[in-house]
Amino acid sequence: MEQLGQPTETVTRDTPVVEGESVIREYTRGGGGFFSRTAAPTVRALNGVSATIHPGEVVGIAGPSGSGKSTLLHLLAGLDVPTSGTITLAGQNITSLSARERAALRLEHVGIIFQRFHLLDALSARANVALPLVELGYGKRTRRERAAELLTAVGLDERQTHKPGQLSGGEQQRVAIARALTTNPSLVIADEPTGELDTSTGERVLDLLVDIADEQAVVLASHDQQALDVCDRIIRLRDGEIDRSQ
């Protein structure tokens, strides 16, 4: 069993953690039922977007609502596959993988901070943070120590035994952030990571994300200028395409 404290796989800074090439993602919306005379409308959420993310980078994704930010995040994380184009994550083309294979790849290589925290109400903060290590087969002592370390790092050392219902929205978000970092993933995906946090707590969380990007890659989507200011570079989207006007 590998030791926690290093990314799950050693990569050079010249090797992308994740790369999207000419990505198109289309969705079919409503209509087009059995008795309908019209085809269901197709919406193109992303149109030919390419992006390459290396270890050590903090990359922001910005743009107005409906620009394709969340769609791009989901593709980079391996939560979804493109309609056309390729996403290569940890050296594997995710379009060639089954849903189960993609889930295994995410567990090993990706930490995801969702806008909706997806915490289990019956478990303590510490147990929620430790969950990915259960799936990877780590022992109880290692799980508890790692979860306690991360909860302290996000300022929740005195709330470790509290369940989600006993925590504020901002505290729940910090638990979700700690859980995303538990396995030392090579890629951290964050959707509005400071959305529920006050300014000082947001600064602490952003500092943590910048610190882990010494070896790993962080991709965050945000409307918050405070979050975008810590990024090494920003991919700006508009109407599903990279906005090169700025």
What is the C-alpha to C-alpha distance for residues 183 and 150, in angstroms, rounded to an integer? 11
User: How many CB atoms are closer than 10 A to CB 104?
Assistant: 13
Question: Residue 12 falls within a domain, yes or no?
Answer: no
Q: Is residue 182 part of a domain?
A: yes
In a domain, 11, yes or no: no
Q: What is the CATH number of the domain that holds 167?
A: 3.40.50.300
For 149, residues 6+ apart whose C-beta sits below 8 A from its C-beta are none
What gap in Å lies between CA 113 and CA 188, rounded to an integer?
8
On whether residue 218 sits in a domain, the answer given is yes
Nearest-angstrom CA–CA distance, 246 and 30: 35
DSSP string over 29-43: -S---TT-SSPPPEE
Show the domain range for 159. 18-30+42-242
pLDDT per residue of the chain (246 residues) written in tens, 0 to 9: 344 544 444 445 678 999 999 999 998 876 555 555 666 788 899 999 999 999 999 999 999 988 999 999 999 999 999 999 999 999 999 998 999 999 999 988 999 988 778 899 999 999 999 999 998 889 999 999 999 999 998 889 999 999 999 998 888 888 988 999 898 899 999 988 887 778 887 888 788 888 877 778 999 998 888 899 999 999 999 999 998 876
Residue 51 lies in a domain: yes
Q: Give 92: exposed, middle or buried? Use CB within 10 Å, 0-12, 13-18, 19+.
A: middle
Looking at the 3D structure of the chain, how many domains does it have?
A: 1
Whether pTM > 0.85 for this model: the answer is no
Q: Per the domain annotation, does 1 fall within a domain? A: no
Cβ–Cβ < 8 Å for 76, 236 = no
For residue 52, being part of any structural domain is answered with yes
Q: How far apart are the first and last CA of the chain?
A: 47
Dihedral, CA of residue 175, residue 177, residue 178 and residue 183, to nearest 10: 140
Q: Which two three-digit tokens encode residue 35?
A: 């008795």
- Joined tokens for residue 40: 């269901």
